[in-house]
Amino acid sequence: KHKVIFDTDPGVDDAMALYFALAHPDIEVLGITTIFGNVTVEQATENALYLTRIAGYEIPVAHGAPVPLAKPPGTPPGFIHGDDGLGNLTKRSPIKGQAENCSGAEYIVKMARAYPGEITLVAVAPLANLGLALKIEPNLPKLIKQVVLMAGTVTEPGNVSPVAEANVWNDPDAADLVFTAGWNLTMVGLDVTHRVVLPSSFFDALAAKQNHLAMTTLQHAVHFYCNFYSAIRPELGHACFAHDVLAFVYLVAPELFKTQEGRVRVATDGIANGQTMMDKHGKLFYPQPGWEPEKPVTHVCMQVDVDACIKLIDSTLGSAWLK
Ligand code: BDR
Ligand code: CA
């Protein structure tokens, strides 16, 4: 089983990813660290507690960074995920649960030290928690087994600027720290997440099958999310991109992806702020500062088996995992 810490800003596709992780037999979610992004970090923590508890899981949740490492904070995009991050739920059932008494970054470091070489970080949000954890424990890349990010784009246009993907754009300084830290790092970016489109009817069918508050909550949130996507991309129908869940699909089924290795850096200011740039060939004849050959490489997902991913998401969320 992959021992996972899930770093997230729930968020509709984050909720989908969380439920995939809880449902998949090869994943053990040890803890969740929350972060600003789709919502404020306060709302992200509340949502992480809510989503886990209604599904019947008492997973620890650590409250993460409220703002980016360096750039001024932005405003959460309530029109995409809802002001509450879950499609504006009309009412929430009461839940018990409280965040850990350490920060998200401290939680990551504590767990990495407790399970050296065993932890996988799956991060699907702005990367300040990972950046702060690297500052607390510079040896973190050696203690962590693997990092999988939903972040960035190399070949596909950005989704918040012509070149920037939202998670990177929201904290480019943290992202650049993460891409250059030297861990076993895989990037699942828009290059593949924009290929995997999930219709709202897919979640209607799952909710009909499972008939559980967790699945009807996800179904509601997905409908809100699909309203947004179908307005800007009508050719998709009432559907959304699979974004965050694909980081977990990669973790359990890497054979469904084609990756390319190369150094990835992030532009941290100017008009290209948040751009993820990849040195695909590693043959720069006169490498300039920042592109030295010894900089660590990232495995970047370039292609994906779309049908197999959708089948795996369907069978996993449709399995008997809800308590
Ligand atoms: C990413 O941005 C967030 O809005 C989504 O949750 C996902 O992590 C996609 O660019
Ligand atoms: Ca996210």
* pLDDT tens figures, 57-82: 999 999 999 999 999 999 999 999 99
Tell the residue number behind the tokens 């360096």, with chain if given: 70
pLDDT surpassing 90 at residue 39: yes
Does ligand 1 lie within 6 Å of residue 167's CB atom?
yes
Q: Is residue 9 annotated as a catalytic residue, yes or no?
A: yes
Position 258 scores a pLDDT of 98
Position 283 scores a pLDDT of 84
**How sure is the predictor about 161, in pLDDT bands with cuts at 50, 70 and 90?**
very high
pLDDT surpassing 90 at residue 282: no
Active-site position among 243, 244, 299, 305: 243
Position 281 scores a pLDDT of 85
Position 196 scores a pLDDT of 98
- The structure tokens listed for 106 are 């401290």
pLDDT surpassing 90 at residue 231: yes
Shortest CA distance to 43 belongs to which of 70, 68, 75? 75
Q: Is residue 243 annotated as a catalytic residue, yes or no?
A: yes
- For residues 236 and 230, the answer to whether their CB atoms sit within 8 Å is yes
pLDDT surpassing 90 at residue 96: no
SS3 120: strand
Position 319 scores a pLDDT of 98
What proportion of the chain, given as a percentage, has pLDDT over 90? 95
Phi, psi of 16 (to 5 degrees): -60, -45
Shortest CA distance to 251 belongs to which of 20, 33, 15, 7? 20
70: CB partners within 8 A, 6+ apart: 173, 268
Position 146 scores a pLDDT of 98
**Distance (Å, whole) CA 37 – CA 164:** 15
**How sure is the predictor about 128, in pLDDT bands with cuts at 50, 70 and 90?**
very high
- The structure tokens listed for 207 are 């909710």
Atom in ligand 1 nearest the alpha carbon of residue 165: 10
**How sure is the predictor about 246, in pLDDT bands with cuts at 50, 70 and 90?**
very high
Does ligand 1 lie within 6 Å of residue 46's CB atom?
no
Largest CA distance in the chain: 61
Does ligand 1 lie within 6 Å of residue 159's CB atom?
yes
Phi, psi of 61 (to 5 degrees): -125, 125
Does ligand 1 lie within 6 Å of residue 165's CB atom?
yes
Atom in ligand 1 nearest the alpha carbon of residue 12: 6
Phi, psi of 160 (to 5 degrees): -125, -15
pTM for this prediction: 0.98
Atom in ligand 1 nearest the alpha carbon of residue 193: 9
Going along 141-292, which residue ranges are E strands? 144-150, 185-188, 197-199, 239-241, 257-266, 276-279
